[in-house]
Amino acid sequence: MLSRTELVRYGAAALAGGALALSFPPRTLWWLAVPAFLVLWLTMRDVRARRAAGLGFVFGMAFFLPHLLWIEHFLGNDFGPWPWLVLSAIMALFVCGACALMPLVSRLPAAPVWAAMLFVLQETARGLIPFNGFPWGRVAFGQPDGPFGQLAVVGGAPLVSFAVVFTGFGLAHWLPRVKAAWAVLPFAAALAVGPLISLEAQNGQRTIAVVQGNAPNIGLGLLDAADTLRANHLRKTAELKALIDGGSVPKPDLVVWPESATRTQDHDPVIDRAVDSLGVPVLVSALRNGENAVIAWQPGTGPGQSYAKQELVPFAEHIPLRPLARLFTPFADTPDMNAGTEPGDIDIAGTRVGLGICYEVAYDYVLRESTAAGAQVLVVPTNNAWYGRGEMTYQQLAMARLRAIEHGRAVVVAAISGVSAVVRPDGSVVQSTGMYTDALMTDSVPLRTDITFATRFGGAIHVLLTAGAFGACLCAIWLRRRARPEPESLPR
């Protein structure tokens, strides 16, 4: 039976995990992440690895259960709470593993530094394994409204996560000692890098229109609603044409459809007529030839360049372990989609557009590669209609906002049923739509060509943080073995 002290520790770890969940959008309580990690550190003070692992698991479950509640809306009616509970538990196990190693590195000088690196390491690991990972819920994705988010321009999401976790751990470790000043260095650095974030248009501007055709809020019923989605977006595109002709909406340079707005083939006379009538290039996001693709549809010439989604959603767009998958996913008997292999860069409307489709915005490399290849604006088509009115769409928008800061680019998010948004290069949202409504959104965005430090060196910074975590563990093991007394020689 747990002692009262142990119960207090576990209760505090659960409260800390809940506070971290509250720090994420749609709330603007970004600052709650710091006390969350402060409390987590205090719960692990003077405990061994096994107890630290248990505290980490409780912290992780208290965070992921509310953070991923939208999965329960998606699958709960057909599969009960088990997919939500199991995924939350798997994600919490990564936190558990990182926390199990923290007592080891706590013996080193500047212990909060190495512990924060371990936390970033587990974020990296769960973005890779199993089955290419699930990088949702990284600490950085809760920070686009606060100063810490500005560090993305230097080191992307890994550096932002590190800064937040280190600040919380450092305050707990060093307060009320003079060394506590070290803990606020990341916050000071975040304020200092603000001037590196620029909104200036370096290659003119483009007016981009988003067509949000809407979808019924029927969860898995969308599997049979492809014709409805197509009709909605064709109808809304025709409405955009009428508004342009009537002079109430300026003619855009580019129009964007959201992810899987239609199914199409290499030849589609209906979309040809819609685009020809509009007289504007359209990025048509469609399921085509076994790919989740974005196609540059030109007036007069039809489909041209395209980008295929590289990061397919496990157990939805590709199915590992099919016999097991039948227990918790309705997609188990559908063929795997074909993953793309090339960065998402398309020349359209006189602009180099970088693309990341839906789930891909959570992966660092996708939009980094697009921007490094010359993208002047980023576009993220998405379909969040599966997940009801929960927080998923706001969580994903927060990722897009962080990517805007990271790469110094405007980001246009086009969602089937909301929230669609226009994001400036500083991460601010200047226009957005509601959920489960059809809408048209038009705005001018700056085209930028400068490459940020994070775009150029963010991958290297990520590697350094990972190497630091491994190096700290190895160093701590070596020091512990060295400190053990030599066994006395046996008498001969």
The catalytic site residues sit at 259, 309, 358
Residue carrying the six token digits 């538990």:
89
Buried-exposed string 86-125: b where 16+ CB fall within 10 A, e elsewhere: ebbeebbbbbbbbbbbbbbbbeeeebbbbbbbbbbbbbbe
Provide the 3-class DSSP secondary structure of residue 6: helix
Q: How many residues would you count in the chain?
A: 492
Strands (DSSP E) contained in 137-233 are: 205-212
Angle, in degrees to the nearest 10, between helices 152-174 and 185-192: 160
Contacts of 224 (CB under 8 A, 6+ apart): none
Could you write out the DSSP letters of every residue in 36-61?
Answer: HHHHHHHHTTT--HHHHHHHHHHHHH
DSSP alpha helices (H): ranges in 107-182?
111-126, 152-174
Cβ neighbours of 282 (radius 10 Å)? 26
Rounded to whole angstroms, the Cα distance separating 396 from 384 reads 9
User: Can you tell me the distance from the alpha carbon of 236 to that of 209, in angstroms, rounded to the nearest whole number?
Assistant: 11
Residues whose CB is less than 8 angstroms from the CB of residue 481 and which lie 6 or more positions away in sequence, other chains included: none
Residue 223: which residues within 8 A CB-CB, separation 6 or more? 330
SS3 441: strand
CA–CA dist 227, 222 (Å, integer): 10
Q: Which two tokens stand for residue 211?
A: 């067509």
Query: How many whole angstroms separate alpha carbon 42 and alpha carbon 13?
Result: 9
Extract long-range pairs of 410-413: CB within 8 Å, 24+ residues apart.
410/377, 410/378, 410/445, 410/446, 410/447, 410/448, 411/377, 411/378, 411/379, 411/380, 412/208, 412/210, 412/256, 412/377, 412/378, 412/379, 412/380, 412/445, 413/210, 413/380, 413/382
Report the alpha-carbon angle 229-419-446, nearest 5.
110
CA distances from 235 to 261, 343, 385, 392, 402 (A): 12, 31, 18, 27, 33
Please give the DSSP secondary-structure letter assigned to residue 450: P
Question: What would the two tokens of residue 369 be?
Answer: 């590669």
